[in-house]
Amino acid sequence: MKIKGKRRVSNVMVGDKPIDPKAKYTLAGHDYMLLGHGDGFTMFDGATVLQDRVKIDNQVLIDYITDTLGGTIGEEYSKLFGEGRIVIKDAEADSED
């Protein structure tokens, strides 16, 4: 649902700076979303792919747990709903403002 004059996503930061809608960014993701149009994501059609299918996603998770976390998933991952950085807003309520 597109709400005239409002963006569906707000307060997006790249590092410590707000995202620039006119800038070009390099991102990483899995082919289901970026190349396979998973969940209807077609905005990456025609984008340049720099590196394709380096690892399957479960291997990336395994490597992160073993290499970065030393094989131990710590307290920083104990919150069931994450760190609260992503907030889902009700589009209906926002359109009434």
Residue 7 lies in a domain: no
How many Cβ atoms from other residues are within 10 Å of residue 41's Cβ?
14
pLDDT at position 91 over 60: yes
Residue 50 lies in a domain: yes
CA distance 20 to 26: 13
What pLDDT is attached to residue 97?
A: 52
Task: For residue 52, tell me if it sits in a domain.
Answer: yes
Question: What number of CA atoms fall less than 13 Å from residue 57's CA on the CB side?
Answer: 6
Range of the domain at 44: 13-95
On whether residue 62 sits in a domain, the answer given is yes
Could you read off the pLDDT of 9-21 as tens digits, one per residue?
A: 778 888 889 988 8
* Residue 26 maps to a domain: yes
Mean pLDDT of the chain: 79
Question: Does the model's pTM come out above 0.75?
Answer: no
